[in-house]
Amino acid sequence: MADSTAKPQPQQPPKSAISPRRADDFPEWYQAVLAAADLAEHSEVRGCMVIKPWGYGIWENIQAQLDRMFKATGHKNAYFPLFIPLSYLEKEAEHVAGFAKECAVVTHHRLEAGPDGKLIPTGKLAEPLVVRPTSETIIGAAYAKWVQSYRDLPLLLNQWANVVRWEMRPRIFLRTTEFLWQEGHTAHETEPEAQAETRTMLDVYETFAREHLALPVLRGRKSASERFPGAVDTLCIEAMVQDCKAVQAGTSHFLGQNFAKASGIRYLSRAGQQEFAWTTSWGVSTRLIGTLIMAHADDDGLVLPPRVAPSQVVIIPVIPKEEMRDKVLGACRALAEQIKSAQFHGEPVRVEIDARDVTGGNKTWEWIKKGAPLRVEIGPRDLDAGTVFVGRRDKGPKEKQSYPQATFAAEVPALLQSIHDTIYARALAFRDANTRVIESKDEFYAWFTPKNEAKPEIHGGFALAHWNGSPEVEAKIKEDLKVTIRCIPFEDKPEPGTCIFTGEPSAQRVVFGKSY
Amino acid sequence: MADSTAKPQPQQPPKSAISPRRADDFPEWYQAVLAAADLAEHSEVRGCMVIKPWGYGIWENIQAQLDRMFKATGHKNAYFPLFIPLSYLEKEAEHVAGFAKECAVVTHHRLEAGPDGKLIPTGKLAEPLVVRPTSETIIGAAYAKWVQSYRDLPLLLNQWANVVRWEMRPRIFLRTTEFLWQEGHTAHETEPEAQAETRTMLDVYETFAREHLALPVLRGRKSASERFPGAVDTLCIEAMVQDCKAVQAGTSHFLGQNFAKASGIRYLSRAGQQEFAWTTSWGVSTRLIGTLIMAHADDDGLVLPPRVAPSQVVIIPVIPKEEMRDKVLGACRALAEQIKSAQFHGEPVRVEIDARDVTGGNKTWEWIKKGAPLRVEIGPRDLDAGTVFVGRRDKGPKEKQSYPQATFAAEVPALLQSIHDTIYARALAFRDANTRVIESKDEFYAWFTPKNEAKPEIHGGFALAHWNGSPEVEAKIKEDLKVTIRCIPFEDKPEPGTCIFTGEPSAQRVVFGKSY
């Protein structure tokens, strides 16, 4: 070993709470953030996760807030069976082909002791049941019964549910065998109405990502090879996370009449004709949680967008001597009541007091790692001075500011909004810094080639480049670089150009990236 | 055929919207109410139901309101896998024995085209997975990892989820293969703490049934033969519905150390010893919806308890001439805004305007059948007179009352509470009228023998009788009469007596009934 006294050591970067850091090993950093924030963990059931209370609390807020947006756009909730008869799934050929390799199949409906006394499945089903990977076909069967005339349209329903897609390489929140999601399913009288619905719901997702999750996302349509199996058109929102990869964070599908034909959703038109309905489906899932973690968390742990944080403000009592406990806790409770009565986006601010018997420093670090937007410390000195000591999660862990106790609660909504705005601006700046307009194939290949062989996940980011629309070109790029077209962005005036791969004409630039 | 002019016809009872009536065929009446109120229907998947928007809206309110009560008692939500490895389920012998006959089993994880081109399950799993019938074992596996010391206790979690218990004779909302529920799972340091939790959550259920669903329920414990498989003690709430049968509407189980031993939930005690935790579990399900229908609905359809009604007030515009449309609708919208700003139990009143192009009389009947608590009609004459015409669902369909438009909104909360109180009092009076203290075996058998062979579901109701505590006596009664002990009621001073079946001593009277 080298003599450490001989030369000055290279200066150490400041300590971080999460090891490894993002820059050193992004996948391991992600796992470490999940653990440090106590969000979720792998279960013993292959590919299935356990969502712990702090992680589930984020999902509850996502659910409640999105649900209000769905209802405001005229949708109601309903619930359809978990199981889909195999014959239903087979009705749409592309659809079943797309999901066949990842279906959990129920084949028996009881257990009985076998010859060796161990339980074995018995009661074999005449027709196997697939655990829903998505519900177009089972919901289509119901719609076919419910829709008779144009008066029954539009039918605008949503379902909050669990779905199962067998996953060989699970990653918590991003890709798990079972996940939680919502799936909207609508049926319309005309093609333009169904297309408008598809776009409306994509815009709801974009608004939600921006205003609730502080995520800037690109909006656009998928190329044919990336469409939902059975869809005519798939619209998507795409986020960039901190390893410069893309995450498809939500999709909205225009299904044309494909599923209406497969399920027999017919209606008597105004002209007295039997017509097939036009349908859509759209969904977001617990993947949104993975996306916000990868977009916002830092080397000290999770950074939560305030609107979905289970607790937006955490009050940490500082109790140096036991005899001060009652007084300090009393002040904490009084402050918590004041903060609760402040409103943030029309809801009472969510506040909790962490009165556990743990040293203050450890508590503070726990809440930093859990990403609580505001930490408020109150001790005897603050009581005397009439102040509180406040840490914002978007600033450094040591950067704290004193506020007057009397007026702090009233400032909380503005502070939360400021944290939201800061992390949104950061994510946007990151995406901008890692997006490049690319004019040649060589530049394109250089952009997506890892700079460091040991860290293949680090690469250029998004590329905006002209493409001739050919699936073969797309397939070659995917084979060479693992890069796909993330979306063909919506543009008011698309600028035509020349495909950088073939020299052929291109209608507009499209967004390329590596994706989760 | 008889000459209908010869004799006067027997007087017809007034027409009812639901056919058959409750008194004529209770099971068919129930199906007819479900259909008329558009609540839910059977799917093509055996035993699985589709919950339609009006039915799901009731569940959303049940969920939101119960969830607040769970959180107020210190619980948080989390989510655990849908699939349970067979070996987990086998860890608790009584438990697996109780559920083995109704387990949906996943045996394969993909589909591939077979020799004839049809899809067949492939990718056989090394260990079959059971679709959760309940989650004690899968949650126990997680708790075993999370609990190390007494400092980790109590662990107080709840899960909102779907569960599957294969059902040969499904009945919507009461008994379906898949149903929605919540399951609380808690772990404690001491036996008395776990017992207190078991009782606290039963009391939450009783309060919820009474104050939110207008259901009077009996509280007590189950006899050993009716316990949850693997529990030490099962507490329950039992409702009586209008065919005099009992519905077990919620259960809370004290599991002792049985599941902690099966799953290995151990903690380091304050005394420095490794100890097994004491656990509980408790749940209610979409069965609550079936219970409230059977308890409150009448021969005109559903009667909804106001707190869980998806719409508490429905405004029906009366538009005799097209040119009056804008004026009438404007008045409806203004009134709806006023009503929304009224508060009922701390929430804005839920109001909707039914502006569909359907005749007024049909609309009114639809809302009667759907059980909306208050119907408000506004037409041009009401606008001139400054009045609204109001129908209460707890009164006859023709019984309407006029209110001043200017003050009606302010009266809505009191009207809703009055409807709640009325239907609660009715259900209580019905139960009282159909509950009898019984002193002899003959009287008992007479009480439970149908008066009319053609209507075996009509019988006496609840019997309060002394029983010696013997499972054999219980089994004989069940065999003879299909009557079971619904609960051993909690009593401050239980009065001992003599078992009416054996003449042996009895500690207290227990409640007998036929059940769903």
pLDDT at A14: 60
The amino acid present at B465, given as its one-letter code, is A
pLDDT at B451: 75
Chain B neighbors of A56, CB-CB under 8 A: 76-79
pLDDT at A9: 53
* A210-250 confidence digits (pLDDT tens): 999 999 999 999 999 999 999 999 999 999 999 999 999 99
Residue with tokens 């089993």: B105
pLDDT at A12: 56
A98 to chain B: nearest residue by CA? Answer: B111
Q: DSSP 3-state assignment of B390?
A: strand
Residue with tokens 């506004």: B378
Choose among A40, A329, A110: nearest CA to B96: A110
Torsion angle, CA of A14/A20/A26/A27, rounded to 10 degrees?
A: -160
Q: Do B141 and A44 touch (CB under 8 A)?
A: yes
Q: Do A121 and B105 touch (CB under 8 A)?
A: yes
Q: Do A56 and B79 touch (CB under 8 A)?
A: yes
- Please compute the mean of the pLDDT values over residues A284-312 and round it to a whole number: 98
pLDDT at B324: 93
Give A453's pLDDT tier (boundaries 50, 70, 90): low
pLDDT at B206: 98
Contact by Cβ (8 Å): B241, B510: no
* A347-359 confidence digits (pLDDT tens): 999 999 999 988 8
Task: Please report the DSSP string for A477-509 in residue order.
Answer: HHHHHS-EEEEEE--SSPPPEE-TTT--EESSE
- Please compute the mean of the pLDDT values over residues B181-187 and round it to a whole number: 98
Give B455's pLDDT tier (boundaries 50, 70, 90): low
* B88-138 confidence digits (pLDDT tens): 998 888 888 999 999 999 999 999 998 888 899 999 999 999 999 999 999
- Please compute the mean of the pLDDT values over residues B283-292 and round it to a whole number: 98
**Probe site for chain B from A89, A91, A106, A127 (most B CB atoms < 10 A):** A106
**Probe site for chain A from B38, B50, B125, B186 (most A CB atoms < 10 A):** B50
Choose among B197, B243, B251: nearest CA to B227: B251
Q: Do A162 and B164 touch (CB under 8 A)?
A: no
pLDDT at B14: 60
**Probe site for chain B from A63, A111, A357 (most B CB atoms < 10 A):** A111
Q: Is the pLDDT of residue B10 over 60?
A: no
Q: Is the pLDDT of residue B281 over 70?
A: yes
Closest CA of chain B from A51, distance in Å: 5
The amino acid present at A473, given as its one-letter code, is V
Q: Is the pLDDT of residue B50 over 90?
A: yes
A156, containing H or E segment = strand A155-164
Q: Do B102 and A86 touch (CB under 8 A)?
A: no
* A380-399 confidence digits (pLDDT tens): 999 999 999 999 999 999 99
Chain B neighbors of A51, CB-CB under 8 A: 78-80
A103 to chain B: nearest residue by CA? Answer: B110
pLDDT at B63: 98
Q: Is the pLDDT of residue A456 over 90?
A: no
Chain B neighbors of A52, CB-CB under 8 A: 78
pLDDT at A4: 44
Please give the radius of gyration of chain B, using alpha carbons only, rounded to the nearest integer: 26
Q: Output DSSP code: residue B153.
A: -
Q: Is the pLDDT of residue B454 over 70?
A: no
Range of weakest confidence among A100-104, A111-115, A262-266, A375-379: A111-115
Give B361's pLDDT tier (boundaries 50, 70, 90): confident
* Number of CB pairs, chain A paired with chain B, less than 8 A apart: 179
Give B427's pLDDT tier (boundaries 50, 70, 90): very high
Closest CA of chain B from A78, distance in Å: 5
B128 to chain A: nearest residue by CA? Answer: A121
* A158-206 confidence digits (pLDDT tens): 999 999 999 989 999 999 999 999 999 999 999 999 999 999 999 999 9
Q: Output DSSP code: residue B90.
A: T
Residues 6+ apart with CB under 8 A from A28: A20
* B193-247 confidence digits (pLDDT tens): 999 999 999 999 999 999 999 999 999 999 999 999 999 999 999 999 999 999 9
Give A457's pLDDT tier (boundaries 50, 70, 90): low
Q: Do B44 and A85 touch (CB under 8 A)?
A: yes
Q: Do A138 and B45 touch (CB under 8 A)?
A: yes
Q: What is the mean pLDDT of chain B?
A: 94
- Please compute the mean of the pLDDT values over residues A264-281 and round it to a whole number: 98
How far, CA to CA in Å, does B3 sit from each of A479, B10, B12, B13? Answer: 88, 14, 18, 21
pLDDT at A1: 39
Contact by Cβ (8 Å): B33, B317: no
Q: What is the distance between the alpha carbons of residues A350 and A342, in angstroms, rounded to a whole number?
A: 9
Helix, strand, coil % over all residues of chain B, rounded to 5? 35, 30, 35
Q: Which two tokens stand for residue B340?
A: 């929304």
Chain A neighbors of B178, CB-CB under 8 A: 81-83
* A67-97 confidence digits (pLDDT tens): 999 999 999 999 999 999 999 998 888 888 8
Q: What is the distance between the alpha carbons of residues A434 and A422, in angstroms, rounded to a whole number?
A: 18
Give B9's pLDDT tier (boundaries 50, 70, 90): low
**Probe site for chain A from B41, B42, B45, B89 (most A CB atoms < 10 A):** B45
pLDDT at B2: 42
Rounded to 5 degrees, what are φ and ψ at A379? -130, 180
- Please compute the mean of the pLDDT values over residues A59-74 and round it to a whole number: 98
Share of chain A above pLDDT 90, in %: 89
Q: What is the mean pLDDT of chain A?
A: 94
Q: What is the distance between the alpha carbons of residues A233 and A257, in angstroms, rounded to a whole number?
A: 12
Q: Identify which of B85, B89, B119 has the shortest CB distance to residue A45.
A: B85
Q: Do B81 and A53 touch (CB under 8 A)?
A: no
Share of chain B above pLDDT 70, in %: 96
Give B301's pLDDT tier (boundaries 50, 70, 90): very high
Q: Which two tokens stand for residue B298?
A: 């009448």
- Please compute the mean of the pLDDT values over residues A303-324 and round it to a whole number: 96
Give burial (CB, 10 Å; 0-12/13-18/19+) of A454.
Answer: exposed
Q: Is the pLDDT of residue A115 over 70?
A: yes
* B127-177 confidence digits (pLDDT tens): 999 999 999 999 999 999 999 999 999 999 999 999 999 998 999 999 999
Q: What is the distance between the alpha carbons of residues A57 and A59, in angstroms, rounded to a whole number?
A: 5
pLDDT at B117: 83
Q: Is the ipTM of this complex over 0.85?
A: yes
Residue B169: Cβ within 10 Å count: 6
pLDDT at A228: 94
